[in-house]
Amino acid sequence: MASNFNTASADQYELLMGRWSRRLAPKFLAFSGIADGEEVLDVGCGTGSLTFAIPEAANVKRIGGIDFSAVYAERAAALNKDPRIVISQGDACDMPFADKSYDRALSLLVLHHIPDAPKAISEMCRVVRPGGVVAACVWDTYGGFPLFRMFWDTVAAVDPTADKARNGGYFRPLAQAGELTEAFEAAGLEDVSEDTLLIRLDFQDFEDFWTPIAAGEGPHGAYVTAKSPDQQQRVKQAVSAAYESGRPDGPRSFYGVALACRGRVPQR
């Protein structure tokens, strides 16, 4: 299995994560670096949040995008109006690209959803030319993502069977500080550096938050939609109470911390 992110709908993905990916993409590009004339690969491109931000950051020569979900890859391809961009469906752990065919391989909010993340990093290194850059960004799922900690802690309080899903969500591969650095160095990358990136996640009201989860999107949606209708309603009521926290339903803003890491492919 190349991904454990539950894919249900491109529209619901936009509500669950795509809109935040777009907010994070410019910060990630500033961290990872990009230059005119480069050929860049977006690994786990989703619906194109990072892919479409790349030509806004630099006058690149070519952009490739690949995602394991055909639903997301098809949406990104349908949205694309730039002839330099080619989107395809594929496996990050077995990419259909030649060795040394890109100047940079970037991955935004993906590696912590890949069970064999070291293999994906190895593939990113393989397709990048010597001296090129590999960079990735993941959510700090335990310490820096209070929105979904609110969800999982609340759910676990009303459903003891949620512990496994909660704990697995908190401690995903590479989602703790320093783990990306260790993985990049183990892959043979040089000049490795890691930093944190911060954005805000803003919601109009509880339904704005809950809708993609109720539709089955992502790990949270997979958990909810596996429950009976009565259990789903109980979970929704508990999470709604946590969201509102004694105040009328309405706008809420949460911070989101991402861990970003970059390294250089050795000159050989």
Q: What pTM did the predictor assign?
A: 0.92
Task: Look up residue 122 and give its two tokens.
Answer: 């190895």
Per-residue pLDDT of the chain (268 residues; tens, 9 = 90+): 566 555 566 777 776 777 889 999 999 999 999 999 999 999 999 999 999 999 999 999 999 999 998 888 999 999 999 999 999 999 999 999 999 999 999 999 999 989 899 999 999 999 999 999 999 999 999 999 999 899 999 999 999 889 888 988 888 889 999 999 999 999 999 999 999 999 999 999 999 999 989 988 888 888 999 999 999 999 999 999 999 999 999 999 999 999 999 999 999 7
Count CB neighbours of 185 within 10 A.
13
Give the pLDDT confidence score for residue 82 in this predicted structure: 97
pLDDT at 217: 84
Q: Give the per-residue pLDDT at 19.
A: 86
**Maximum separation of any 2 CA atoms in the chain, in Å:** 61
Q: What's the pLDDT score for residue 256?
A: 95
Q: Dihedral of CA 87/186/2/223: which sign? A: negative
DSSP letters, 82-120, are: -TTEEEEE-BTTB-S--TT-EEEEEEES-GGG-TTHHHH
The order of strands in the sheet holding 128-139 is 85-89, 62-67, 39-43, 102-108, 128-139, 252-264, 190-203
Residues 63, 51 contacting (CB under 8 angstroms)? yes
Q: How many CB atoms lie within 10 A of CB 126?
A: 17
In angstroms, the CA 179 to CA 175 distance is: 7
For domain 10-264, the CATH architecture is 3-Layer(aba) Sandwich (3.40)
pLDDT score of 13: 74
Parse the chain into domains and list their residue ranges: 10-264
Parallel, antiparallel, or unpaired: how do β-strands 39-43 and 102-108 relate? parallel
What is the end-to-end Cα distance of the chain in Å, rounded? 32
**Quick check: 162 and 156 in contact, CB under 8 A?**
yes
